[in-house]
Amino acid sequence: MSEGIGARVLRKEDKRFITGNGKYTDDVTNHGQCYAAFVRSPHAHAKVKSIDKSAAEKMMGVEGVFDGHQLTGDGIGNIICGWAVASKDGSPMNMGAWSALATDTVRYVGDAVAVVIADSPANARTAAEAVMVDYEELPVVVNAGEAIKDGSPQIHPEAANNLIFDWEIGEEAATDAALAEAAYVCEMDITNNRLSPNPMEPRSAVATYDASEEHYTLYTTSQNPHVARLVLSAFYQVAPEHKLRVIAPDVGGGFGAKIYIYPEEIVCLWASMKTNKSVKWTADRTEAFLTDAHGRDHITKAKMGFDKDNNIVAFKVDTIANLGAYMSLFSSATPTYLYATLLSGQYNIANIHANVRAVYTNTTPVDAYRGAGRPEASYLIERTMETAARELGVSPADLRRQNFVTEFPHQTPVIMAYDSGDFATNQDAAMKAADYAGFEARRTEAASRGKLRGIGMSSYIEACGIAPSAAVGSLGAGVGLWESAEVRVNPVGTVEVLTGSHSHGQGHETTFAQLINDRFGLPADNVQIVHGDTDKVQFGMGTYGSRSGAVGMSAIVKALDKVEAKAKKIAAHMLEADEGDIVIENGEVKVAGTDKTLGWHEVCLGAYTAHNLPEGMEPGLKEGAFYDPANFTFPAGCYICEVEVDPDTGKTEIVQFVASDDFGTIINPMIVEGQVHGGVAQGIGQALLEEAVYDDSGQLLTGSYMDYTMPRADDVPSYVVSHETTICPGNPLGIKGCGEAGAIGSPPAVINAITDAIGNNDLSMPATPAKVWAAIQASQTKQAAE
């Protein structure tokens, strides 16, 4: 059976995962290891008047108790935001200081003020409870819309009215003029609910300082260990890069939350030097809820204008984005360049203007979470399209179709240049799979059972493989967004692929190995994928934004090209043939049209014995490559959700979910389908179940699974998944990316289905039974009044 591109190869890594033999950060145990426990603020906003460590320092097993003044005194730098977004008046963003341990002010519940290092987790925690912090409580604001009003509590001195930036994209005057001329304007008030990321494995760090070498090693739950090392070195001054090794071993899910470099890793590294002990910290679930960067949290007003023939003429968007108490690493890019640049959706829209105000509040920092900006854009556009169709009295499918972009490349008014796609074919496939035409009969049948049945569509587009580096640099990014790879062929012909991508559930060990199989015909078992260790892989930008396929694998392909070229040269020399006649297939190296053949391993051994190499050739068979994409990639698709609502309780059941996606070339369809299943489940979670809720005093009410509703198996349906492929012209494999699409495309499909079922467009996420029931009551009251 083929193990090449397009084959459903079972995941190599699952053997260790499902037998409990994965090696995660918390599994790392060093001799004499100590444990960190953080003293965290119980207040959402307070002055720290004093910290009394004396009782804790005397407690059993305690190696040290440290506060923020000691940390900054040792020269550890403030936590940075890595993407500078300027306001529309040209002024730089108003970023407040974020010290890994707060010194003077705490700004959200969970903000760390001190750390205890002790010989056991229990002793550390007990001593942390004995650290006496004297707080003077300050007024609190948690809602971004409230935070920018005059007179609201001031969270950072640098940001007047808590405004970080007031940014815009597109032409406002032209958009306003087009709206004024429009035959019909659809107006929407949309809230995108705040989410807790909830990777199964909580964040963890094990830091070890070797005093004799002045060298640090950090095991950490990271999606991008090289970026972590760069930031820890260049900005936090923990250690220079060559004196810091960062290892992200098996990582149990990231979803964005493990991109960032958090206070805990910085503190563990620093504390390992202070105590000369290996220091471990693993978040408990409460700490995960309180401190893992949250996602989404937008408040938006939007207007979409149509001409008399129902063509879209303008889209105007005004968004307030809640960034929480501090600016996390990519918090500024998420609600701007990853959001407003996608506001054209799949549609021809001549005029778009978006204004985004980013705001501090006394809540957990907010940053990219699976989809990052694109779910917010897609939800806004697709709810607006469906609502407009209902108000215009036309088919939602037809309204979309007549406005689809059909010619590529297509330049939108908001930076993006779509390179490929076939949106109508996606829609056709989804409508056929969903039996869209037969829906009304199903609605009638459901009504006979007392159920309200509804159908909703979402035609999403997103952007992956954020690039090219020069372009993102010009937009304010502090890093390049290329990827690196190195292919090491061993003398016996087995292959090690070192990649800067990082797998935390994606299945890279399988998918990447399929590239080698496809190229040389080697079985996947002869290939080892190496990632996640800065001492092994030279550099890499990591995995997020569905970039490992489009960017990471492209780098591997470039390295493979070099390996193949050299192997052919060697083989041609050994076989006394012309280099152009050499073919490599099924593990053999042949001269085309002859019976002259060498085993792959013979060529590899020849490269290393160097007994018979072409004149002047270096021995060995190892090649590296860096790949910087020329453009984003644009996965797109059509999702159709069908629901039944129990009018007595407001409970929604998803009775059908159809996904038709265009991900470009697919390497392993099984893994891609799994990505869609997981992404859609997360999207259903956002649409029906999940919300991080604060009370007015800034306490997180959803700080455990007793109150935060994670999707469970019985909350989600069986999915009908298919692919309608157009090849991405921008990278050698034609890949677009699949990691986030499900979470981006599904929420509007679900809400459009429920609002169709209940006859009320005024419904916010999560559409809990209580909210849906109230919306049904409201529409009944309205109908009765009419």
Partner 1 sequence: MYETNYHRASSVEDAISKMGSADDAKFVSGGQTLIPTMKQRLAAPSDLIDLRHVDSMKGITIDGNQITIGAATTHAEVNASKELRAICPAICDLAGHIGDPHVRHMGTIGGSIANNDPAADYPAAMMALNAQIATNKRTIDTDDFFTGMFETALDEDEIVTAVTFPAPAKAAYSKFPNPASRYAMAGVFVAKLKNGMARVGVTGAGADGVFRHEDMEEALKGDWSSSSIADCKVDADDLLSDLHADNNYRANLVKVMAKRAVEASS
Q: Of 570-599, which residues contact partner 1 (CB under 8 A)?
A: none
Shortest Cβ 145–partner 1 spacing (Å): 19
Tally of CB atoms within 10 A around 588:
16
Residue 402 or 709: the one with the smaller Cβ distance to partner 1 is 709
Q: Are 662 and 745 in contact (CB under 8 A)?
A: no
Single out the residue of 524, 689, 754, 758 in contact with partner 1 (rule: CB under 8 A).
Answer: 689
Shortest Cβ 698–partner 1 spacing (Å): 15
> 3-state class of 203 per DSSP?
coil
Residue 409 CA to residue 402 CA, distance in Å, equals: 18
Residue 183 or 701: the one with the smaller Cβ distance to partner 1 is 701
Region of 532-540, 571-579, 700-708, 743-751 interacting with partner 1 (CB under 8 A): 700-708
Residue 10 or 770: the one with the smaller Cβ distance to partner 1 is 770
**What residue spans of 579-717 are helical by DSSP H?**
600-609, 669-684
Shortest Cβ 706–partner 1 spacing (Å): 4
Single out the residue of 768, 778, 779, 780 in contact with partner 1 (rule: CB under 8 A).
Answer: 768
Shortest Cβ 289–partner 1 spacing (Å): 12
Residue 565 CA to residue 563 CA, distance in Å, equals: 5
Q: Of 486-525, which residues contact partner 1 (CB under 8 A)?
A: none
Residue 528 or 709: the one with the smaller Cβ distance to partner 1 is 709
Residue 709 CA to residue 472 CA, distance in Å, equals: 36
In this structure, the strands spanning 495-499 and 215-220 are: unpaired
Amino acid at 158: E
Q: Does 276 bind partner 1 (CB under 8 A)?
A: no
Shortest Cβ 760–partner 1 spacing (Å): 16
Q: Are 684 and 746 in contact (CB under 8 A)?
A: yes
CA 115 to chain CA mean position, Å: 29
Shortest Cβ 772–partner 1 spacing (Å): 10
Residue 725 or 768: the one with the smaller Cβ distance to partner 1 is 768
Amino acid at 191: T
Residue 211 or 706: the one with the smaller Cβ distance to partner 1 is 706
Residue 338 or 751: the one with the smaller Cβ distance to partner 1 is 751
Single out the residue of 96, 197, 650, 664 in contact with partner 1 (rule: CB under 8 A).
Answer: 650
Q: Are 391 and 184 in contact (CB under 8 A)?
A: yes
Joined tokens for residue 573: 């020399």
Site string for partner 1, 281-310 (x = CB under 8 A): -----x------------------------
Shortest Cβ 54–partner 1 spacing (Å): 22
Token pair 């990321």: residue: 197
Site string for partner 1, 702-721 (x = CB under 8 A): x--xxxxxx-----------
Q: Are 510 and 668 in contact (CB under 8 A)?
A: yes
Closest CA to 50 of 133, 123, 130: 133
Q: Of 128-157, which residues contact partner 1 (CB under 8 A)?
A: 129
Q: Does 774 bind partner 1 (CB under 8 A)?
A: yes
Shortest Cβ 24–partner 1 spacing (Å): 21
Q: Does 699 bind partner 1 (CB under 8 A)?
A: no
Shortest Cβ 155–partner 1 spacing (Å): 24
In this structure, the strands spanning 417-418 and 410-411 are: antiparallel
Residue 122 or 160: the one with the smaller Cβ distance to partner 1 is 122
Residue 17 or 705: the one with the smaller Cβ distance to partner 1 is 705
Shortest Cβ 689–partner 1 spacing (Å): 6
Q: Are 760 and 769 in contact (CB under 8 A)?
A: no
The dihedral formed by the CA atoms of 194, 197, 202 and 204, expressed in degrees to the nearest 10 = -90
Shortest Cβ 693–partner 1 spacing (Å): 5
Single out the residue of 693, 720, 727, 778 in contact with partner 1 (rule: CB under 8 A).
Answer: 693
Task: Give the DSSP H/E element, type plus range, for residue 133.
Answer: strand 132-137
Handedness of CA 773, 679, 254, 470 (dihedral sign): negative
Residue 466 CA to residue 741 CA, distance in Å, equals: 15
In this structure, the strands spanning 34-40 and 279-282 are: parallel
Count of residues that interact with partner 1, criterion CB under 8 A: 24
Single out the residue of 10, 447, 492, 770 in contact with partner 1 (rule: CB under 8 A).
Answer: 770
Shortest Cβ 694–partner 1 spacing (Å): 10
Query: How many CA atoms are closer than 13 Å to the CA of 215, on its beta-carbon side?
Result: 8
Single out the residue of 91, 406, 649, 781 in contact with partner 1 (rule: CB under 8 A).
Answer: 649
Residue 717 or 729: the one with the smaller Cβ distance to partner 1 is 717
Closest CA to 317 of 172, 217, 439: 172
Single out the residue of 182, 256, 773, 775 in contact with partner 1 (rule: CB under 8 A).
Answer: 773
Joined tokens for residue 245: 């090794």
Q: Are 126 and 116 in contact (CB under 8 A)?
A: no
Tally of CB atoms within 10 A around 498:
22
CA 650 to chain CA mean position, Å: 32
> 3-state class of 49 per DSSP?
strand
Residue 578 or 696: the one with the smaller Cβ distance to partner 1 is 696
Closest CA to 40 of 104, 136, 131, 154: 131
Residue 188 or 693: the one with the smaller Cβ distance to partner 1 is 693
Site string for partner 1, 595-634 (x = CB under 8 A): ----------------------------------------
Helices and strands in the chain: count of H runs, count of E runs: 20, 28
Residue 59 or 527: the one with the smaller Cβ distance to partner 1 is 59
DSSP string of 294-314, one letter each residue: BB--EEEEEEEEE-TTS-EEE
Residues in the chain: 786
Amino acid at 458: S
Region of 255-263, 382-390, 629-637, 697-705 interacting with partner 1 (CB under 8 A): 697-705
Residue 126 or 731: the one with the smaller Cβ distance to partner 1 is 126
The site for partner 1 (CB under 8 A) is made up of 122, 125-126, 129, 286, 648-651, 689, 693, 701-702, 705-710, 768-770, 773-774
